């Protein structure tokens, strides 16, 4: 497994940093026209059910400055038994493949800042890799994701608010839970951090994620005790060095009302590498 992870990291680094935004929350950045970006992230969750983690790769392309398409695929390192979650902005659910588009439909330039809004949507396909907990041996049909984000960006401050909804089709009487997610992210770049190549350019984020998962369906029956709502808060940091971006963050629960059949989640973590070419 260590060799596989190292190989993924090498490919990503050998391939300008994608999505200069938060790691947990939705945001509005897109690629320049004709610009490609490659991301690879290790993300996971820990708690009373142990540690669940996965490796997620994403490839994005800018059709226009305001329209980006992206595909992502997972490598589940350790299956996750916790309540359904998107965890990161480009991981619809751990174990899912996705084909998404981001359309920045509004932008207003101000003095030293801009306000913009973007819509995101696309198709989801659960992967073949083993799952844990209530998801073990579960069938699932394809699904879709729809959402959007709006915010303000300047040289020193960034603020994004976003929301998304995921729904899956039934397969052999089983259906994965619907997932409604809301996010808020604020970033600050101190004057001393606003540097260009050959120095790193850094910014620090505070991120909030709120989620509500619907009931899990097995054999055409909705299982009691499988709905859940939670609120996670935590810091993240983004560093940009020419064409490379490195980002990481942690989140911790500040409120939760999860179903009794799920183990308690205590922490989320993400480390992401990005390359723009």
Q: Render pLDDT for 168-224 as a digit per residue (tens, 0 to 9).
A: 999 999 999 999 999 999 999 888 777 777 888 899 999 999 999 999 999 999 999
Residue 144 Cα distances to 99, 126, 156, angstroms: 9, 11, 35
Tokens of 62: 């800018």
3-state SS assignment for residue 29: coil
Report pLDDT for 19: 45
Indicate the domain borders of the chain: 2-276
Q: Above 50 in pLDDT, residue 99?
A: yes
pLDDT in tens, 249-263: 999 999 999 888 899
- Rg for the chain, CA atoms, rounded: 18
Q: Which residues share a beta bridge with 185?
A: 160, 207
Task: Please give the model's pTM, rounded to 2 decimal places.
Answer: 0.88
d(CA 121, CA 222): 27
pLDDT in tens, 42-96: 989 999 999 989 888 999 999 999 999 999 998 888 888 998 887 776 566 667 8
Nearest to 12 by CA among 52, 44, 48, 42: 42
Cα angle 231, 235, 239 (rounded to 5 degrees) comes to 140
Classify domain 2-276 by CATH number: 2.40.160.40
Do the Cβ atoms of 163 and 26 come closer than 8 Å? yes
């Amino acid at each position: 497994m260590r060799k596989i992870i190292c190989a993924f990291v090498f490919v990503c680094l050998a391939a300008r940093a994608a999505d200069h935004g938060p790691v947990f929350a939705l945001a509005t950045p897109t690629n320049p026209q004709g610009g490609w970006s490659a991301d690879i992230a290790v993300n996971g969750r820990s708690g009373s059910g142990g540690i669940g983690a996965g490796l997620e790769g994403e490839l994005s392309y800018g059709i226009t400055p305001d329209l980006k398409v992206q595909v992502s695929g997972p490598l589940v390192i350790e299956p996750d038994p916790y309540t359904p979650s998107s965890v990161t902005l480009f991981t619809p659910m751990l174990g899912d493949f996705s084909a998404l588009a981001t359309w920045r439909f509004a932008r207003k330039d101000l003095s030293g800042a801009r306000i913009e809004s973007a819509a995101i949507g696309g198709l989801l396909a659960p992967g073949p890799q083993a799952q844990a907990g209530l998801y073990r041996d579960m069938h699932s049909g394809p699904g879709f994701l729809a959402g959007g984000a709006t915010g303000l960006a300047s040289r020193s401050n960034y603020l994004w608010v976003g929301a998304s909804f995921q729904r899956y089709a039934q397969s052999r009487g089983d259906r994965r839970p619907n997932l409604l997610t809301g996010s808020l992210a604020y970033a600050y770049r101190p004057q001393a951090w606003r540097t260009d190549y050959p120095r790193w350019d850094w910014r620090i984020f505070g991120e909030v994620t709120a989620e509500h998962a619907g009931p899990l369906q097995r054999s055409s029956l909705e299982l009691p005790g499988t709905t859940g709502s939670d609120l996670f808060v935590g810091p993240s940091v983004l560093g940009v060095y020419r064409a490379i971006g490195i980002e990481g963050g942690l989140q911790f629960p500040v409120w939760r009302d999860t179903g009794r059949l799920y183990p308690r989640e205590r922490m989320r973590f993400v480390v992401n590498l990005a390359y723009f070419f």
